[in-house]
Amino acid sequence: MEKKPRFVRKEFPPREVRSVSLAVLLAAILLLNVLLYLYLNKFYISSGRAETDPSICPFGYFRLGAVKNCSPWLSCEAINREVRKLKCVGEGAVKKVFLSEWKENKVVLSQLTNSELKEDFLHGLKMLKALQSKHVVRLLGYCEQQFTILTEYHPLGSLRGLNETLHIPKYKGMNTWHHRLMLAIDYVSIIRYLHSSPLGTLVMCDSNDLDKVLSQYLLTSDFHILVNDLDALPLVNRSASRLVKCGHRELQGEFVAPEQRWPYGEEVPFEDDLMPPYDEKTDIWKIPDVSNFFLGHVEGSDIVRLHLFDIHAACKKKDPAERPSAQEVLDTYRKVLTLLIREAAMPSTREML
């Protein structure tokens, strides 16, 4: 009688099973790193990490909204004829700000309010024109004779309203350590840009307290940061031994850098002529405090702070020369972001095995 063939289940030796598992793990890690590289590459470009941007028009021109063509900056005549004020949305020491409309686009019209500060106003306009980039609010036009500046409108406003914005249902999904760290990276990117700008090393002087710092920056609808107020942006010129002083009054408090405080004690009255000048490292001193605001108190933010502890300690060195450059801080922030994204993705990789 003929025997029927029996199907025998093949058992893999333990060593072969381990080899297959290891191969799967290595393939998963390789795939993870490829995806991570592609993601971060897209992030650095889309969020303004690249200094060049195809949407930026030639000098003296702008592009607004969905319009494809670049338009020349609006002149005094065009602003008076085509821009309509809607309402006042803010007022500072130098200028008053109006939400306005131009050709069915919301825009921002800024006008000088204090004639004694016209030099500050014109300096801000000069900086705004010269520094147009992915880091700076878009200039749409100006009129020097009438001390008027027209810029792009960003409905989320200044960074002072960040936490309130993140509690709006539409934006709650952005309230994570990941997106908050990316805002901190945006901020440090702007400081780095100012310190190595086309004009030279510029110091962000309107930064004597956290609230003042936050008021200088805008939050865009796609959750990036633009510097908006450039009225107080003096130039450090080391080759000419020229340092800066942020204003002519005494600065106090832990937020400002030690070299910005009166060095001669309370027994000596403050005198501007005796106050020593300083350099851009004052901006570095303030980075940890501003970043701490960005990180907030969401899940994972303390882990981010732990990874940033060493670089933030270096930023707080009393001797300005011992503090890192903005580029070094930026490089560290990016490395921490990459590391934490990789660590967050690893549990998913283990589950694949």
The DSSP code sequence of 116-145 is GGHHHHHHHHHHHHHT-STTBPPEEEEETT
pLDDT of res. 49 = 41
CA distance from start to end of the chain: 47
Instruction: Please name every residue paired with 98 in a beta bridge, in sequence order, or none if there are none.
Output: 88, 109
Q: Cα 195 from chain centroid?
A: 13
Alpha helices (H) along the chain: 14-46, 76-82, 118-130, 162-165, 177-195, 210-215, 281-295, 301-315, 326-351
Stretch 110-119: mean pLDDT, rounded? 92
Write a three-state SS string for 89-117: EEECCCEEEEEEEECCEEEEEEEECCHHH
Mean pLDDT of the region 25-31: 56
* 345 has a pLDDT exceeding 80: no
The pLDDT assigned to 50 comes to: 46
**30-51 tens-digit pLDDT:** 555 545 545 555 554 444 444 5
Q: How many residues in total does the chain contain?
A: 353
Is the pLDDT at 21 greater than 80, yes or no?
no
| Rounded Cα gap, residues 139 and 60, in angstroms | 9
> From CA 267, how far away is CA 269, in angstroms rounded?
6
Average pLDDT over residues 300-317: 98
Single-letter amino acid, residue 217: Y
Alpha helices in 207-325 (DSSP H): 210-215, 281-295, 301-315
User: Do residues 103 and 82 lie in contact, with contact meaning Cβ atoms separated by under 8 Å?
Assistant: yes
Dist. CA 175–CA 216, nearest whole Å: 22
Q: Give the residue carrying structure tokens 């006008």.
A: 111
Computed on alpha carbons and rounded to an integer, the radius of gyration of the chain in Å comes to: 26
Does residue 216 contact residue 209 with C-beta atoms inside 8 Å?
Answer: no
> Which residue, among 177, 198, 192, has the nearest Cα to 305 in the 3D structure?
177
- Domains in the chain with CATH codes: 69-153 (3.30.200.20), 154-345 (1.10.510.10)
How is residue 28 written in tokens? 């998963």
Q: What would the mean pLDDT of 294-308 be, rounded to a whole number?
A: 97
Residue with more model confidence, 125 or 34:
125
Amino acid at 133: S
Write out the two tokens for 196.
């190595």
Q: In angstroms, rounded to a whole number, what is the distance separating the alpha carbons of residues 43 and 70?
A: 26
Name the residue among 102, 144, 98 with its Cα closest to residue 124: 144
Q: Is 218 helix (H, G, I), strand (E, B) or coil?
A: strand
- Judge contact between 323 and 329, C-beta under 8 A: no
Q: Is-contact 219 161, C-beta < 8 A? A: yes
pLDDT band at 234 (very low <50, low <70, confident <90, very high): very high
pLDDT mean over 70-95: 94
Residue whose tokens read 């780095």:
192
Cα–Cα distance, 259 to 226 (Å, whole number): 27
Structure confidence by residue, pLDDT tens digits, 153-174: 999 999 999 999 999 999 999 9
With a cut of 70, say whether residue 20 has pLDDT above it.
no
